[in-house]
Amino acid sequence: VETRWRHTNGQTLDVLLNSTPLDASDLSAGLTFTALDITERKQAEEALRSSAEIVRFIPSGLFVYHYEPPDQLVLLDGNPAAEYLTRIDIDACRGKNFHDIWPTARKSGILRSFLGVMETGRIYESDDLVYQDGRLDAVFRTRAFPMPGNRLGVAFENITEQKKTEEERRQLEEQLRQAHKMEAVGTMAGGIAHEFNNILGIILGNTELALEDVPEKKSVKYSLEEVHKASLRGRDVVRQILSFARKTPATRKPVMIRTVVQESLKLIRATIPTSIKIRQNIQCQEEMVLANPTEINQILINLCTNAAHAVEDR
């Protein structure tokens, strides 16, 4: 009989009480009683039950396998979280070999890793164990460890969403690096455009002076006029580059949309292959819109660049 006694010091003890008759045929002859203090054993049993309850309700999955050399891992048990995370029926799989439950594990090498745990006693840890067998497609963080009695414990949690988040963050960081790179290119282009603008100013000024000194009927006058026209076109292109590269808030103002589109197309013409023609059919004439010219410029460049990529092989 298990009972509880109070010690003289006030402590309550768990006691295993056993009685034995002195004469089995005559109980009146008397009994012998033995009392064994089982307090520590009861505490250990309670701790074990508590541990079992904790394992049962923790969100991480846990499988326990029995190792049968040389290469058999037989499922003994698992907690509800393991059943939920892996979509398997533990009762139906109990007693089955690991490779029968997870057919793809042989190809992935995870079974060899688990067997290595049993052979070496070393703990196996992985952050990228992928299960793909028709029931689920997920990434698990896994930890396999040897247990007493030739058993293997495998604890794991689903980190598929975490992996996706990490990949999204990596892509965002790459986009940010690309944006910083483009910002640096824009700053450099702005500096080059400023320098080129100064050079064009010198060319324009000297060309205009030369035109004033050359008589009308001289053939060189025509050549100087062509230089002047080309310099003006170059100045317009430089102005567009500076406007595009300038770090200013996207403020809107009344602009003539026809002029903005025409200026954008001049810049686009210089950035796409000459084998691709650009045909303009701008219907509006004096219409004004409230917009930011640089943003319209950027939209048109993106659209036309995509169109150029679509037709460049034809």
**What tens digit of pLDDT does each residue of 155-185 get?**
999 888 888 899 999 999 999 998 888 788 7
Residues 254-270 pLDDT 10s: 999 998 898 888 878 87
Q: Report pLDDT for 170.
A: 92
Q: Are 115 and 101 in contact (CB under 8 A)?
A: no
Q: Report pLDDT for 134.
A: 56
Rounded-to-10 torsion of CA 44, 50, 52, 55: -130
Is residue 104 packed enough to be buried (19+ CB in 10 Å), middle (13-18) or exposed (0-12)? middle
Task: Say whether pLDDT at 136 is over 90.
Answer: no
Residues 268-278 pLDDT 10s: 887 888 888 89
Lowest mean pLDDT segment, chosen from 76-85, 123-132, 144-153: 123-132
Look up residue 30 and give its two tokens.
């008397």
In the chain the first and final C-alpha atoms are separated, in Å, by 95
Task: Say whether pLDDT at 29 is over 70.
Answer: yes
Look up residue 95 and give its two tokens.
């007693």
User: pLDDT tier at 188 (50, 70, 90 boundaries)?
Assistant: confident
User: What is the rounded CA–CA span in Å between residue 229 and residue 47?
Assistant: 93
Q: Report pLDDT for 238.
A: 79
Helical spans, DSSP H, in 214-284? 219-245, 257-269
The pLDDT mean for the chain works out to 85
Lowest mean pLDDT segment, chosen from 62-76, 83-97, 118-132: 118-132
Count of Cβ atoms closer than 10 Å to residue 131 Cβ: 22
Report the pLDDT averaged over residues 100-129.
Answer: 84
- Percent of the chain with pLDDT strictly greater than 90: 29
- Which residue type is seen at 6? R
Lowest mean pLDDT segment, chosen from 152-156, 185-189, 251-255, 256-260: 185-189
Going by C-alpha positions, the residue among 196, 267, 270, 268 that lies closest to residue 237 is 267
User: What is the rounded CA–CA span in Å between residue 289 and residue 262?
Assistant: 15
Alpha-carbon torsion 308, 309, 311, 314, what sign? positive
Task: Say whether pLDDT at 20 is over 60.
Answer: yes
User: What is the rounded CA–CA span in Å between residue 73 and residue 259?
Assistant: 76
Q: Report pLDDT for 143.
A: 92
User: pLDDT tier at 30 (50, 70, 90 boundaries)?
Assistant: very high
Q: Report pLDDT for 133.
A: 58
Q: Report pLDDT for 282.
A: 92
> 56 or 230, which is more confident?
230
The structure's pTM equals 0.48
Q: Report pLDDT for 51.
A: 53
Task: Say whether pLDDT at 221 is over 60.
Answer: yes
